[in-house]
A and B are shown apart, each in its own frame.
Chain A
Amino acid sequence: MMASGYNAKEEDGHHSGAPGNGGAGAVKSKKPDNTAFKQQRLPAWQPILTAGTVLPAFFVIGLIFIPIGIGLFVTSNNIKEFEIDYTGIEASSPCYNCAQNYSWNSTSSCTCKVPFTLEQPFESNVFMYYGLSNFYQNHRRYVKSRDDSQLNGDLTSLKSPSKECDPYRTSDGLPIAPCGAIANSLFNDTLELYHLSNGTRTAVVLMKKGIAWWTDKNVKFRNPGGNANLTVAFQGTSKPVNWRTPVFELDPNDPDNNGFINEDFIVWMRTAALPTFRKLYRIIQKKVDAPTLASGKYELEVSYNYPVRSFDGRKRVILSTISWMGGKNPFLGIAYITVGSVCFFLAVVLLIIHHKYDNRCSSADIPN
């Protein structure tokens, strides 16, 4: 009985790991089990990294990586990309006036036309991006300034958006839908593309569907109370302060692309990782008989609404074809070639070391 008092005290110490180490009454056999686990003798594979074993691996890595790298590099080089900066900083730029005279209050939009020439025809689907520079979509205050449940069609959040949306939460006492800084700063330049050939100006057909993730469009973003009659659904909410039109008029012609499920809106809501980014704007579908964009003169018509000069930003439009590995990015190919070559080189070095070391070792051991 008293001994238990003792034991209790002993447990007070750190880990009295031993079960029943103090009891005078513990007469039961203390012989440890002779199992492989308890004796730390489980069967095991015991690999050792030596020059000899690593050598072939390095050669193999080299041999695999270099072709992959070359493949990626070639693929990337075959991608055609054309980029137009239409910010209008330089006086010679067609959008200079629009950029200079910009004011938030103007109701009419300023339009400018940027001509450009494609030297080579663009085959297959062409993707049209707009790009922004020095725009910190990944700023913490910005990233969190949204209400995902509101965007998911939640009616409570529609009427009382999350506090994270401040200071873009309410306007004139009404809750803003969609609330937050991200939605508020929705990119609102309209870009249109015209092909100039033989004096005629034909508009290039731009697809505005399929630019957002399917899951975003169909699951993550939902209009409150379904897609029908958005005007009623959004009653009692206010439009974001910088917007010209309320959210239910983003694409009045297509109920499947209106309100929160407007694809331009969804694309914008996916905040970019880096301050220089591009976002998919339109898709130009490939034609059966001719190249999607034949070489020749084109004109980009911009309704210039989005101010970037205040933060030294830039606006671009990018036309790009896409391969299986995405857009033009030589990085991956070069990296693969580099790592592959390094591996190959190291393999050679190790081969030399391996040879020398083997000789040394045997010569060092035998005299002793």
Chain B
Amino acid sequence: CMCVLTRSLNPFSGGQCAGEEDWVDNRTVYIGHKEPPPGAEAYIPQRYPDNRIVSSKYTFWNFVPKNLFEQFRRIANFYFLIIFLVQLIIDTPTSPITSGLPLFFVITVTAIKQGYEDWLRHKADNSVNQCPVHEVQHGKVVRKQSRKIRVGDVMLIKENETFPCDLILLSSSRDDGTCFVTTASLDGESSHKTYYAVQDTKAYTTEEEVDSIKATIECEQPQPDLYKFVGRVNIYMDNEPVARPLGSENLLLRGATLKNTAYIYAVAIYTGMETKMALNYQTKTQKRSAVEKSMNAYLVVYLCILIGKAFINTVLKYVWQADPNQDEPWYNNRTDAEKERHIVIRAFTDFLAYMVLFNYIIPVSMYVTVEMQKFLGSYFIMWDDDMYDKELGESAVVNTSDLNEELGQVEYVFTDKTGTLTENNMEFIECCVDGHVYVPQAICNGQVMPGSDTMDMIDSSPGPRARESEELFFRALCLCHTVQVKEEETVDGIKHGLHSGRPSSFYISSSPDEVALVEGMKRLGYTYLRLKDSHMEILNREDQVERFELLEVLTFDSVRRRMSVIVRASTGEVYLFCKGADSSIFPRVVSGKVEEVKDRVEHNAIEGLRTLCVAYRALTPEQYEETYRLLNEARLALHDRDRRLAEAYDQIETQLVLLGATAVEDRLQEEAADTVESLHQAGMKVWVLTGDKMETAAATCYASKLFRRGTRVLELTTKRTEEQSLHDALFDLSRTVLRPHREPSGLGLDPDPVSGLSGECSDFGLIIDGATLSAVLQPGPEASSAGDYKEIFLEICRNCSAVLCCRMAPLQKAQIVKLIKASKEHPITLAIGDGANDVSMILEAHVGIGIMGKEGRQAARNSDYAIPKFKHLKKMLLVHGHYYYIRISELVQYFFYKNVCFIFPQFLYQFFCGFSQQPLYDTAYLTLYNISFTSLPILLYSLMEQHINIDILRKDPTLYRDISKNCLLRWPIFIYWTILGVYDAMVMFFGAYFLFDNTTFTSNGQMFGNWTFGTLVFTVLVFTVTFKLVLDTHYWTWINHFVIWGSLIFFVVFSLLWGGIIWPFLNYQRMYYVFMQMLSSGPAWLSIILLITAGLLPDVVKKVICRALWPTTTERIQVPRPQPGPATPAFIQRHHQGCVPNLVVSQPGCVPICVLGTHRDA
């Protein structure tokens, strides 16, 4: 959160330089479609789109084909489509309905959802496209529909109207040619921004006058960067073109709203889909969670199993059929058509038929269930009352529900400082002029703050010389800013009442620092009143109004880290006032009490205050002329304007006289320290990435307990690399960091975490600054060692519990995240920030979290999750993340398990039916197994499960380590579940087999057939897999009871009904009375009970034994201890004390025996 004065959303700046060179094509716009005098310039006719906004994807006609195409591009859907088509084409054991129906259901539901969304988009588009706008035609105002606006139309916009396209401001109702605009719906910044009309046209304020303008605009072709625009307007006064520069301050963007200005005239330059707003709404790249990756890996395994099964069966079938009497006994002849078919085709068809028979092992419904779980699950995050912030009136927002479970896997947290760790609620603390410190009064109830003894009061005037510079300093702060005064009704944005007498006025700025400074000045006696007719008015201590003409504003940018204004006092003197970070001011200072100010600045920085230095320079008229020329040249440039402007600024802001420094406090957010500590205990590494200076940032880090008293802070800063080469510094650090790990154990890393508890371990913190970081990351001249630096740096970081990166540019933040992401452990990263400069890192990290801060909503909008305050991160990760990880991993494992149970008996049955692809279960069972008999319990489990109470999870962050590294979805656990599935399938199948083996089990001697056999297996199956879930459920609400028992009852009722009637629409009645006949037999009941018990037994035993012998932390906490004494607290304490980060490094992996657990501390 560095560029506090001007924000720039800059995801495109990476390619900026290249982009500007590529910029060959520009457009020429004739204002009001009036051609310029001949010979002015070659006319290049261009076709522009109309102003229709098309956000909809489909039209009425192409919806069905296009939507189907999009849906079947998903690999899973395509797979199911193929299976379905195979079933349609060849003679397969199961009817196409069994796979067609679920697929149809999924496709239809998705299509309806997307269709509905698209219909909404159509409606929104229409209402936008047809909304009436006013155009000036031949000096008359004409109403027309928004979509009919063409490039070059002159538009009339009234107050509170939204701009229908991108416009260049020609003139406004305000005399100074400015207008106020809020871009709340564009980037979320609700502050009023000032836009400027072209100087030469601002006088044309009626329709007729505007109509008489003859001008052309040359500008670049549209590009998506909201804050970048270069162009030039040629105004023909008496056929003589006057060229004026156009910048983003002249460009009104579609979507922004006109405020505080009665009306404006503006000309359309980008319309429809070429407006910056439209160009900006590309969808974000979709992030995939680690769980999803595991799921896909499992899918591949199951696909292999599926193909393997089909292949084995096909081969066995032909081996078995080698005997013609097996192949085609007299009672079972082939049809003639089949006989004629070539053996290869027959074999291939058989292979496909097996694929179809076994395809349920990869169920359609899993995708649906996972999606539903994520979608519905995200509501619990949004509904969470604990993450509601009263002040903001906001609760958590979920922008992507795909990453719920990733919240439980975070290993690295990258956080912004200002606005994230801190409040971003700036308060002016003090200023220092020439070494004298001033503290504004009336901070608390009009009382003077009890402060340090170095504090001077204003009244103790230190002499006329000092008084002069003091007044200059205060005036400088009153003038050098971009604050606006809002006088009327309340504003949505930042509200700061002007104290005395005028409660209806507010200072508004996109930077809270500036507001704090201007307000601080007010408390010190200098009140900034307003900007009127290019004159800034100040009410000085003697209640006199001073007027300064504002000549130039050298706006803030994050590279220069300073801003300047050039003003002309009423006496005629021209001053340049410059305000900026100490590092960017001191090198440019030629005189002033540098040492005193520097001391004070450093002192304040250590206190955690934000400091700014103020300097000035008196300009002679000649110097001002020179300055004006420099600026104007740069502004008129079409190419490289930014670079040239920067150069100009650089030349102008020199030879400054230092006036003093200011200190503004940015308080820590509530519970920030507690949250950081919890994250540490949960095994996460917290990195602070800030644009702030090192001292301030380090102070915040200490305050937020990122660095603790025992932390050894290592520095890798420019200061150090000046003394020592980067190479040596890095190696020194790595030696320091690695030593204590080697010493205690002697032989490499000791996997026993208890050694970390010995107490002598020190934990490390690293401070690195932007410049050094880019040196580390840049491939140096010796190409071979460049990679080494990275590796060494990563190695150092790995051993530090906290890292502070200061002086970071926004893109560097993303670079760091990328670096860590790409390191060899591939840790899961989370980035949290509140400002536009955090967007790049939020987009880069696995999980991006935005804070709904005061600096606009860009971070929140680009994030995956948005929360009101930093402290909410704790619940988000430790509770929601933990739960969703547990839930979804069980969901995934269980789904595969239940389908192994489902399909493996079919596979076994092939060995007993001559490999003929005879399905074991009836079609209805095949279809409904995944859709209705076993779907809801697991869905509800994956929404409701709480293996540990919310409060315990919050209290004991160490539990988070139990699920680290995707622990529940590792291969051993997957294999365990699969083996369990195969075991259950064997129990079910062979149980039924031995029961049916050549005997009867009815009391009337009648026999059962193959469908009863399948139904028996199926009944056991449904009950077993449901009871398996019952055993895994730790949290039984009435909903769980309802759904679990409900779906079992539904299965029974359905079976009774399905077999109870001769269904007229079916061409077979194979299930008629099968279920009821089965239930009328006692042994069937007995065997169902037996087989369910036998199927569940191993899992129960495994669970109980693992819990007893190798309990995980989670399992220990789960069991309430009745015995007296603080058993559980003592245990928790054991984890809390000592060197937490070392625990992370030396954690042993999962104990393979107890595949369900993570690091069991046996």
Question: Out of A14, A51, A323, which one reaches B1104, CB within 8 Å?
Answer: A51
Known: A50-B1104, A210-B1004, A274-B997. A6 touches B277 (CB 8 A): yes
Which residue on chain A has the smallest CB distance to residue B146? A1
B59 at the interface (CB under 8 A from A): no
Interface residues of B in 1129-1153 (CB under 8 A from A): 1130-1131, 1133-1134
A220 touches B1072 (CB 8 A): yes
A12 at the interface (CB under 8 A from B): yes
Please name all residues of chain B whose beta carbon is closer than 8 Å to the beta carbon of A210 when the two chains form the complex: 1004
Which residue on chain A has the smallest CB distance to residue B1116? A361
A312 at the interface (CB under 8 A from B): yes
A45-B1040 Cα distance, complex, nearest whole Å: 10
Which residue on chain B has the smallest CB distance to residue A356? B1108
Question: Out of B334, B400, B1040, which one reaches A141, CB within 8 Å?
Answer: B334
A283 touches B1005 (CB 8 A): yes
A6 touches B1104 (CB 8 A): no
Minimal beta-carbon separation of B1117 from chain A (angstroms): 10
A131-B999 Cα distance, complex, nearest whole Å: 10
B395 touches A141 (CB 8 A): no
A326 touches B335 (CB 8 A): no
Question: Out of A38, A54, A184, which one reaches B331, CB within 8 Å?
Answer: A184
Please name all residues of chain A whose beta carbon is closer than 8 Å to the beta carbon of B298 when the two chains form the complex: none
Please name all residues of chain B whose beta carbon is closer than 8 Å to the beta carbon of A213 when the two chains form the complex: 1006, 1073, 1077
Indicate with 1 or 0, residue by residue over B1020-1044, a CB within 8 angstroms of chain A CB atoms: 0000000000010011111110000
A257-B848 Cα distance, complex, nearest whole Å: 76
Indicate with 1 or 0, residue by residue over B256-287, a CB within 8 angstroms of chain A CB atoms: 00000000000000000000010001011010
Please name all residues of chain B whose beta carbon is closer than 8 Å to the beta carbon of A152 when the two chains form the complex: 1062, 1069
Indicate with 1 or 0, residue by residue over B976-1015, a CB within 8 angstroms of chain A CB atoms: 0000000000000001011111111111111111101110
A113-B757 Cα distance, complex, nearest whole Å: 89
A39-B395 Cα distance, complex, nearest whole Å: 13
B449 at the interface (CB under 8 A from A): no
A96 at the interface (CB under 8 A from B): no
Which of A85-93, A192-200, A329-337 interfaces with chain B?
Answer: A329-337
A166 touches B1004 (CB 8 A): no
B1037 touches A5 (CB 8 A): no
A231 at the interface (CB under 8 A from B): no
Minimal beta-carbon separation of A325 from chain B (angstroms): 5
Which residue on chain B has the smallest CB distance to residue A131? B998
B452 at the interface (CB under 8 A from A): no
B375 at the interface (CB under 8 A from A): yes
Which residue on chain A has the smallest CB distance to residue B399? A16
Interface residues of B in 340-396 (CB under 8 A from A): 374-375, 378-380, 382-386, 388, 390, 393-395
A216-B394 Cα distance, complex, nearest whole Å: 66
Please name all residues of chain B whose beta carbon is closer than 8 Å to the beta carbon of A315 when the two chains form the complex: none
Minimal beta-carbon separation of A117 from chain B (angstroms): 23
B332 touches A22 (CB 8 A): no
Please name all residues of chain B whose beta carbon is closer than 8 Å to the beta carbon of A13 when the two chains form the complex: 283-284, 399-400
Q: Tell which of A167, A320, A335 has the most Cβ of chain B within 10 Å.
A: A335
Interface residues of A in 260-316 (CB under 8 A from B): 267, 270-280, 283, 307, 310-312
B1002 touches A326 (CB 8 A): yes
Please name all residues of chain A whose beta carbon is closer than 8 Å to the beta carbon of B335 when the two chains form the complex: 166-167
B121 touches A11 (CB 8 A): yes
A142 at the interface (CB under 8 A from B): yes
Which of B218-226, B647-655, B912-920 interfaces with chain A?
Answer: B912-920
B305 at the interface (CB under 8 A from A): no
Which residue on chain B has the smallest CB distance to residue A339? B1094
A44 touches B1035 (CB 8 A): yes
Please name all residues of chain A whose beta carbon is closer than 8 Å to the beta carbon of B1001 when the two chains form the complex: 325-327, 329, 332
Interface residues of B in 479-528 (CB under 8 A from A): none
Please name all residues of chain B whose beta carbon is closer than 8 Å to the beta carbon of A144 when the two chains form the complex: 1068
Question: Out of B277, B386, B1031, B1134, which one reaches A368, CB within 8 Å?
Answer: B1134
B1105 at the interface (CB under 8 A from A): yes
Please name all residues of chain A whose beta carbon is closer than 8 Å to the beta carbon of B277 when the two chains form the complex: 2, 5-6
Which residue on chain A has the smallest CB distance to residue B339? A167
B1082 at the interface (CB under 8 A from A): yes
B383 touches A32 (CB 8 A): yes
A213-B380 Cα distance, complex, nearest whole Å: 53
B1118 at the interface (CB under 8 A from A): yes
A326 touches B1083 (CB 8 A): yes
Interface residues of B in 874-932 (CB under 8 A from A): 883, 912-914, 916-919
Q: Which bracket fits the contact residues of B? A: 35 or more
B283 touches A139 (CB 8 A): no
A6-B128 Cα distance, complex, nearest whole Å: 11
Which of B547-555, B685-693, B707-715, B1085-1093 interfaces with chain A?
Answer: B1085-1093
Q: Tell which of A1, A45, A51 has the most Cβ of chain B within 10 Å.
A: A1
A143 touches B1010 (CB 8 A): yes
Please name all residues of chain A whose beta carbon is closer than 8 Å to the beta carbon of B336 when the two chains form the complex: 167
Pair count A-B, CB < 8 A: 376
B632 at the interface (CB under 8 A from A): no
A218-B402 Cα distance, complex, nearest whole Å: 56
Please name all residues of chain A whose beta carbon is closer than 8 Å to the beta carbon of B384 when the two chains form the complex: 32, 38-39
B678 at the interface (CB under 8 A from A): no
Question: Out of A8, A162, A184, A219, which one reaches B121, CB within 8 Å?
Answer: A8
Indicate with 1 or 0, residue by residue over A238-257, a CB within 8 angstroms of chain B CB atoms: 00001000000000000000
Q: Tell which of B120, B385, B946 has the most Cβ of chain A within 10 Å.
A: B385
B447 at the interface (CB under 8 A from A): no
B1118 touches A212 (CB 8 A): no
A211 at the interface (CB under 8 A from B): yes
Known: A2-B254, A17-B382. A181 touches B397 (CB 8 A): no
Minimal beta-carbon separation of B1082 from chain A (angstroms): 6
B127 at the interface (CB under 8 A from A): yes
Which residue on chain B has the smallest CB distance to residue A316? B998
A142-B949 Cα distance, complex, nearest whole Å: 57
Question: Out of B383, B394, B1082, which one reaches A33, CB within 8 Å?
Answer: B383
Question: Out of A6, A65, A329, which one reaches B185, CB within 8 Å?
Answer: A6
A29-B392 Cα distance, complex, nearest whole Å: 10
Minimal beta-carbon separation of A36 from chain B (angstroms): 9
A160 at the interface (CB under 8 A from B): no
A354 touches B1067 (CB 8 A): no
Question: Out of B117, B400, B1062, which one reaches A11, CB within 8 Å?
Answer: B117
A185 touches B332 (CB 8 A): yes
A38-B117 Cα distance, complex, nearest whole Å: 26
Minimal beta-carbon separation of A267 from chain B (angstroms): 7
Please name all residues of chain B whose beta carbon is closer than 8 Å to the beta carbon of A125 when the two chains form the complex: 1005
Known: A17-B399, A29-B393, A219-B1072. A329 touches B999 (CB 8 A): yes
Minimal beta-carbon separation of A45 from chain B (angstroms): 4
B1123 at the interface (CB under 8 A from A): yes
Interface residues of B in 1111-1133 (CB under 8 A from A): 1118-1119, 1123, 1125, 1127, 1130-1131, 1133
Known: A6-B281, A30-B395. A329 touches B997 (CB 8 A): yes
A148-B1011 Cα distance, complex, nearest whole Å: 15
Which of B8-16, B322-330, B569-577 interfaces with chain A?
Answer: B322-330
A323 touches B1003 (CB 8 A): yes
Known: A50-B1119, A324-B1082. A353 touches B1109 (CB 8 A): yes
B382 touches A32 (CB 8 A): yes
A181 touches B1037 (CB 8 A): no
Interface residues of A in 117-171 (CB under 8 A from B): 125, 127, 129, 131, 135-149, 152, 162, 164, 166-168
23 pairs, CB–CB < 8 Å, chain A vs chain B: A2-B254, A10-B281, A13-B284, A17-B379, A24-B190, A38-B380, A38-B385, A44-B946, A46-B1035, A54-B1104, A65-B1093, A138-B916, A141-B332, A143-B918, A220-B1073, A273-B1012, A277-B998, A307-B330, A311-B326, A326-B1003, A353-B1109, A362-B1127, A365-B1127
| Beyond known contacts A17-B398, A40-B380, A329-B999: 12 more, CB 8 A cutoff | A6-B255, A8-B120, A14-B286, A17-B378, A30-B395, A32-B384, A140-B918, A148-B1067, A274-B996, A326-B999, A335-B1090, A350-B1108
Listed from nearest, the 6 A-B pairs whose CB atoms lie closest are: A185-B331, A273-B1013, A326-B1001, A3-B185, A38-B383, A9-B281
